[in-house]
Amino acid sequence: MAGLLVLPLALLALVAGVVVAVLRRQSLVVPPEAHDEVARTHRRLVLLRLGALVAAAVTGVAVTSGAGGGLGGPGQVASAGPALAALVFLAGCCLAELTVRRAATRVRTASLAPRSVLEVLPRAHARTAAVALGAVAATLALGTALGDADDLGRAGRALATRCVDASGLEVSHLRGPWPGSFYALPVAAALTLAALLAAVTLVVVARRPVVSQDRALDAAMRRWSARDVLLGLTLASCVTLVPVLVLMTAGLAGASCRPTGYGALALLCGALALAACFGTAWAASSLLVRPALVAMPTAQPREVAGR
């Protein structure tokens, strides 16, 4: 079931990525004397990060489809497929940053002092990643709070409702699968590891050797690297949210003798699932957008809206 949910999202993200890559590609203006060396480093980082993205996609599909069917089946590992894919991508980003070598130039004008993470952190992408991770945490907490054991005794895998029938007897109903603690624990563990690896990678980005003696250009390239790290976290969070919220919507809307408020909660979960779909497409397409380096006689690099 999870695989059927992820496939349309992957196709949507791919189409959106192609459109955005064509319409929103940007250029980073580089002083001509530094262009060749900066271009080599930039090209190597782009190729390594794209390779990490492909490896992450393969990992996510393999884990989700081959380990119990994700949230629609009994596999707990499969439910953490997007977070495990994020671990692969972030590990690739970290290794790519470790390949960066200091610019070989006789005259050094850039400060050699280590930069702080806050100095190279894109604020908008950091806020988006934090909101996405917070949404996953809140959704998993809600699922855990409402979840009950299923008919096989697996805790947090069913939604239980109780009502009184016409004869005055209390009747219990179970509806599953439900994204409760059975699935929340592995997902939370994998996403926590991904967030920690992202933090480590951001430190590596901030402290890597200077690529260009132009401090502003060097900072711009670091921000692009940090941006990809944050987009990886956002993408993993959104892809995790979609099947979780869809199952919650179906469970809350279809529950027998559902309590007051379940209908409104189902509508909210459905709306958030749609928002997570758009978040998935945005994050995936943004990861496909790479800046082009343009040699121009300027001391201050700037991002030029492109073609």
Token pair 């099947």 in the structure block, residue: 243
pLDDT at 282: 84
Per-residue pLDDT averaged across 246-270, rounded? 81
pLDDT at 89: 95
Per-residue pLDDT averaged across 43-51, rounded? 87
Q: Which amino acid is at 235?
A: L
Per-residue pLDDT averaged across 74-86, rounded? 82
pLDDT at 165: 58
- What are the tens digits of pLDDT across the range 86-138? 999 999 999 999 888 765 554 444 455 557 888 888 999 999 999 999 999 99
Class of residue 244 by CB neighbours under 10 A (exposed 0-12, middle 13-18, buried 19+): buried
Side by side, the strands of the sheet bearing 26-30 are 292-295, 26-30, 303-305
Closest CA to 117 of 202, 240, 28: 202
pLDDT at 236: 93
Query: Which one is predicted more confidently, 231 or 256?
Result: 231
pLDDT at 107: 47
Which band of pLDDT confidence, cut at 50, 70 and 90, is reported for residue 151?
Answer: low
Alpha-carbon separation of residue 58 from 7, 68, 86 (angstroms) = 12, 17, 11
pLDDT at 274: 86
Alpha-carbon separation of residue 35 from 27, 38, 103, 210, 297 (angstroms) = 13, 5, 11, 14, 10
Alpha-carbon separation of residue 122 from 126, 157, 242, 275, 303 (angstroms) = 6, 38, 25, 22, 14
Closest CA to 60 of 231, 288, 269, 236: 236
- What are the tens digits of pLDDT across the range 187-201? 999 999 999 999 999
Query: Which one is predicted more confidently, 33 or 109?
Result: 33
Measured CA to CA, the distance from residue 214 to residue 34 in angstroms comes to 9
